[in-house]
Amino acid sequence: MRLPESEYDSNPTSPDFHPQASSSSLSPSPKANGHVANGYGNAINGSSKPPRSPVARVELPGAAIYDDSYIDREEYIRLVIQSLRDIGYIESAATLEAESGYVMETSRVAEFRRCILEGTWNEAEHALERLGVAEDDGLWEARFLISQQKYLEYLEAGKTALALHVLRNELAPLHTDPEQLHPLSSLIMCTDVADLRQKAGWDGAHFSSRRRLLVNLQSYIPSSLMIPPRRFVTLLDQARLHQISQCIYHNAPLTSRHFSLYADHTCDTDLFPRITTTILQVHSDEVWSLEWSHNGKFLATASKDKSVIIWSVGVYHPFAVGCLAWSLDDTILLSSSEQYIKMWNTESGICIRTIEAHTETVSALAWVPDGSGFISGSQDRKINLWGSDGKQRDSWGITAIRITDLAVTPDFTRLVAVGESAKDPTLPTPRGDSNTASTASRNGNNNPTPSAPRTPEHLMILSVSLGGQLTSVKISSDSQYALVNHAPDEIHLWDLFTGRLARKYTGQRQGRHIIRSCFGGVDGNFVVSGSEDGNVYVWHRDRAILLDVLTGHGSGSVNSVAWNPMNSQMFASCSDDFTIRLWEPLGGGADGESSSRLAHRMADDREHESEASGKGKGKSREPWVGEASCEHE
């Protein structure tokens, strides 16, 4: 919007403006009340007047910023003015307004903004009407938001009578659904300010609530009148996200070191983990499973040779070891062997407890996200919930599938279990309410099917039945996706929010063996899987493009892969060739700790610990191999 010519003569010259100075030498005006962001400060909201001549208005031909561009000059200049004000270049913004003839916002918008931020609510409603917001544009909804803020501020100030007046005479007439008013009316009973803020999800009049109100009111005012906050930055963020989506090898954290406005973003493929930097050769038989500790410093592996090795602590079972799970603080490692579950102290290698509650092979172990316990699943069709002390707390009873794997979403709302249909005509009728755990079974259709085994109250149930054999499941860090290995020769990505198949990944070989895949990379951008052909396969998660087939393992299946949770450029794989391989970029990773550095540090740590204990022989013979072990009784 153009600045009227008449305003030039009426605007006082800023005392800080020097016409001969360059833009970078202009001194910004003092911040109003400490606020400049988004044009919210009093001194920068249309009240900071452009300087009088010698700044002359520049008239340019056309409406676009370039002859071959579709970008409107007025919109562009107004966004630049907003950005300059946001970051504190107040005089530069005023100069640009004078030179271009465009203003960021009219005096009416500035007045409305001031009324909201200063809490002059009657004036705010009048200012809203002067902006031309009509009933069709949501005038009543906007008034409701203003009255709600007024109501909460009266309660905060202890003015209960005034708050009650607002509730009865302003909020109630504006809202047709009494059920929506009930939570607000119940706030009158709050005993103190902290209780009020907690129940209302509101931080008070003198914090950020008025600014959030202004953002919420923005949706009712045309953006051409009132520009959304930080609009230029939003556009740049959108451009960055688009560039990331086009970079199929993207594996860099969101820092200024990895992103520049001067050039389009692309990740160097040499920084992708595709080179074997370490081979761990201690197991004497097929290695079936592996898991990183949460701190990324230790790797646990389980083998057909009846051993679990925490590099560097070894523990032993009487049978081949199937699955592993670290506690959240990495002090306890769970392992399963046949129908037994063992809890190990990872520092001493001592078996804390042996649990025998299943009647068939325990096929899945998972700690719950709050660390209060863990869940076990078995081929006996049972899912049990255990406390962190190893005592059983609950059970789902008999499920409809012989469980091969399970996982709990990080937000602790869903349990996802996969397996084969029990095909038992004597299956008991499921017990409990309509809540169910997310399960995928082998019933031969792709439609969500109801299943209601008894569950703890905090877990939802959503049952999905699939054809084929399902061998493993992993959950994305945002709790939205489940990655399911689906024999033969497919990996499925399921959207847990919609209950629909989102992607398929193909190329690997899986027919007879249990293969465990994982998400990987800085944002879970990749899907990684072993294969019965002895290779490791890597896909781009969202585009389902096969990026690499990594060779190096010997004959037999690559059974499991695991990405280091603290190093986005390192993952591990284990194989029937008795080995574990660590994969990193050529020359080592750009972030985190390389395997060689980690190996030597771990060895030095163990030597230091042994010397401190008086033994003096703690350094391992090989850097990644520990000496401590404990026999199964």
Lowest model confidence (mean pLDDT) among 14-18, 87-91, 552-556: 14-18
Percent share of the chain, pLDDT over 70: 75
Instruction: Identify the residue with better confidence: 608 or 55.
Output: 55
* Residue 411 confidence (pLDDT) above 60: yes
Q: Are residues 169 and 118 part of one domain? A: yes
Q: Are residues 88 and 35 part of one domain? A: yes
Q: Are residues 78 and 126 part of one domain? A: no
CA distance 514 to 531: 9
Q: Are residues 179 and 146 part of one domain? A: yes
Residue 274 resides in a domain: no
The pLDDT of residue 121 = 93
Number of structural domains the chain divides into: 3
If you average pLDDT over every residue of the chain, what do you get?
79
Q: Which of 423, 456, 486 is the last residue of a domain?
A: 486
Determine the average pLDDT of the residues in 304-317: 74
pLDDT digits (tens, 9 = 90+) for 356-397: 989 999 999 999 999 999 999 999 999 999 999 999 998 887
Range of the domain at 187: 110-229
Percent share of the chain, pLDDT over 90: 49
Residue 114 resides in a domain: yes
CA distance 179 to 124: 27
Q: Which of 77, 104, 131 is the last residue of a domain?
A: 104
Asked if residue 450 has a cis previous peptide bond (ω within 30° of 0), the answer is no
Task: Name 550's bridge partners.
Answer: 536
Contact yes or no for 583/273 (Cβ under 8 A): yes
The pLDDT of residue 174 = 79
3-class DSSP state of 310:
strand
pLDDT digits (tens, 9 = 90+) for 156-175: 999 999 999 999 999 888 76
Q: Are residues 68 and 45 part of one domain? A: yes
* Residue 434 confidence (pLDDT) above 50: no
Edge-first strand order for the sheet with 526-529 is 518-520, 526-529, 536-540, 546-550
Give me the helix-helix angle, 121-130 and 107-118, nearest 10°: 160
CA distance 301 to 308: 6
Residue 460 resides in a domain: yes
The pLDDT of residue 524 = 93
For residue 220 the two structure tokens come to 């009712």
Residue 553 resides in a domain: no
If you count them, how many residues does the chain have? 633
* Residue 67 confidence (pLDDT) above 50: yes
**pLDDT band of 428, cuts 50, 70, 90:** very low
Nearest partner of 484 among 465, 459, 461, judged by Cα: 465
Lowest model confidence (mean pLDDT) among 78-92, 176-190, 405-419, 450-464: 450-464
Q: Are residues 222 and 165 part of one domain? A: yes
State which amino acid sits at residue 440: A
Q: Are residues 146 and 40 part of one domain? A: no
pLDDT digits (tens, 9 = 90+) for 516-535: 999 999 889 999 999 999 99
Task: Name 299's bridge partners.
Answer: 292
Taking CA atoms, 182 is separated from 31, 157, 360, in Å, by 41, 21, 52
Taking CA atoms, 509 is separated from 262, 423, 487, 534, 557, in Å, by 43, 27, 9, 9, 9
pLDDT digits (tens, 9 = 90+) for 220-265: 998 889 999 999 999 999 999 899 888 999 988 777 667 888 889 8
**pLDDT band of 627, cuts 50, 70, 90:** very low
Q: Are residues 40 and 123 part of one domain? A: no
Residue 204 resides in a domain: yes
For residue 502 the two structure tokens come to 């989102």
Q: Are residues 456 and 391 part of one domain? A: yes
For residue 106 the two structure tokens come to 């009219």
Determine the average pLDDT of the residues in 122-137: 86
For residue 439 the two structure tokens come to 């399960």
The pLDDT of residue 402 = 87
Q: Which of 486, 512, 543 is the last residue of a domain?
A: 486
Q: What kind and span of H or E run contains 9?
A: helix 6-10
CA distance 150 to 565: 46
* Residue 39 confidence (pLDDT) above 50: no
The pLDDT of residue 167 = 92
Q: Are residues 166 and 87 part of one domain? A: no
For residue 309 the two structure tokens come to 């090795």
Between strands 313-316 and 392-398, the pairing is: unpaired
Other Cβ atoms closer than 10 A to 336: 28
Contact yes or no for 428/403 (Cβ under 8 A): no
The pLDDT of residue 467 = 64
DSSP H helices, 218-311, are: 231-246
Contact yes or no for 75/65 (Cβ under 8 A): no
Taking CA atoms, 588 is separated from 139, 488, 498, 534, in Å, by 59, 35, 39, 24
Residue 605 resides in a domain: no
Taking CA atoms, 408 is separated from 381, 418, 484, 523, in Å, by 17, 12, 13, 19
CA distance 61 to 82: 23
Q: Which residues contact 213 (CB under 8 A, 6 or more apart)?
A: 116, 145, 146, 149
pLDDT digits (tens, 9 = 90+) for 275-300: 998 899 889 999 999 999 998 888 99
* Residue 106 confidence (pLDDT) above 80: yes
Other Cβ atoms closer than 10 A to 433: 10
Q: For the chain, report the end-to-end CA distance as a whole number of angstroms.
A: 82
**pLDDT band of 112, cuts 50, 70, 90:** very high
CA distance 599 to 298: 10
The pLDDT of residue 313 = 45
Between strands 287-292 and 299-303, the pairing is: antiparallel
The pLDDT of residue 138 = 84
Residue 497 resides in a domain: no
Q: Are residues 85 and 27 part of one domain? A: yes
Q: Are residues 99 and 11 part of one domain? A: yes
Of 47-51, 332-336, 604-608, give the range with the top mean pLDDT: 332-336
The pLDDT of residue 271 = 84
